[in-house]
Amino acid sequence: MSTALLIQPADLSRLGRVSVVGGGGFIGLNLCQHLARSGVQVTAIDPNPLRPEAVQGLSIHHEPVLTTEAVQGSSVVFHVAGSTEPASSNVHLREDMAGTVGLTLDVLEAVKAAGVPQVVHVSSGGTVYGPNAPTPTPESAATDPVCAYGISKLAAEGHMQLAERMHGMRAFNLRVANPYGPWQDPRRGQGAVNAFLYRALRDEPIELWGDGEIIRDFLHVNDVVTAMCSVTLYEGDERVFNIGSGAGLSIARLINDIELLMKRPVKINRRPGRDVDVPCSVLDIELARRELAWRPMTGWHEGLEDAMVWMKQYVLTEAETT
């Protein structure tokens, strides 16, 4: 049994059955766990098998291919799948577009064909707004992405809105900040918190791009999951929500807090700053507080320690045996 933080199961019984596209990934796996513990019938749609240690004892049905049949009978389809990350998206433009916009169109086509009444898409709060956005950034701020990932996410949001106008399903875009926590594989290079923890625990140097003064809005995955569940019960008219911690932390502070947690200094490889990195990204979450009655519940130090405990239990032991 994982020693990671567990979300208290909510009363989500009215959802009946749901499907999670990307259910084998970081956010998807955490979402599937929470929904299954809450008594919801869950279908995880992912080409990769689900990690058995993550779904042990939980009733989660796995479908390897996204089809109309796979989502049939669902009250909600959660779309949390993607194929690229912000740092590499400018190099792999076509892959990023296909893995974000193309996949979103596939999801919407299946949702329409199956008559699913609601779809929830995880977008990016860290990349769609751009470098000149006010801080904290409200949903009404101008969008000005500086990387292909943000451009693709914004296009996917537009197709969600178009699908609602054309076909009537309720389509939500959640602009999630910088999530971290259990089941985010740090070896993939996405997610500063988990990636830095992993390298520090292995006594390997952290790759620091720039001077460390970049500000990010780090959010524990448990709080992402509760926001996604909250929006399924929402009956109002808003369709785009920022989901973040509501506070910013510098990359230098992240490294310092990892050192405090580990009680030793970490090694650092210093590299020049990157154009794809927005200098400051902190989301205004007042709309989600007001409309969804949602707020983040996991404190920063509590969440950081939780990520480290999970990593020691599942990732480091696995790395040592391979």
Rounded percentage of the chain residues whose pLDDT exceeds 70: 95
Q: Say whether the peptide bond before residue 136 is cis (omega within 30 degrees of 0).
A: yes
Tell whether pTM > 0.85. yes
Q: Name the residue among 181, 307, 201 with its Cα closest to residue 259.
A: 201
Residue 130 has pLDDT above 90, yes or no: no
| pLDDT, position 87 | 60
| pLDDT, position 8 | 75
Q: What domains are defined for the chain?
A: 14-321 (3.40.50.720)
Torsion of CA 259, 264, 269, 275, to 10 degrees: 0
Pairing of strands 60-63, 41-45: parallel
Rounded percentage of the chain residues whose pLDDT exceeds 90: 84
| pLDDT, position 1 | 37
Residue 322 has pLDDT above 70, yes or no: no
Q: Are 44 and 17 in contact (CB under 8 A)?
A: no
Confidence band (pLDDT; 50, 70, 90) for 84? low
Mean pLDDT of 57-67: 97
Mean pLDDT of 83-102: 81
Residue 124 has pLDDT above 60, yes or no: yes
Confidence band (pLDDT; 50, 70, 90) for 33? very high
| pLDDT, position 2 | 44
| pLDDT, position 3 | 46
Average pLDDT, the chain: 93
Looking up tokens 């240690």 gives: 53
Q: When comparing pLDDT for 232 and 126, which is higher?
A: 232
Helix (H) or strand (E) holding 247: none
| pLDDT, position 284 | 98
Residue 321 has pLDDT above 70, yes or no: no
Mean pLDDT of 84-91: 69
Looking up tokens 């990387």 gives: 147
Mean pLDDT of 15-26: 97
- State pLDDT tens for residues 152-206: 999 999 999 999 999 999 999 999 999 999 999 998 877 999 999 999 999 999 9
- Spatial distance between the Cα atoms of 157 and 217, rounded to a whole number of angstroms: 21
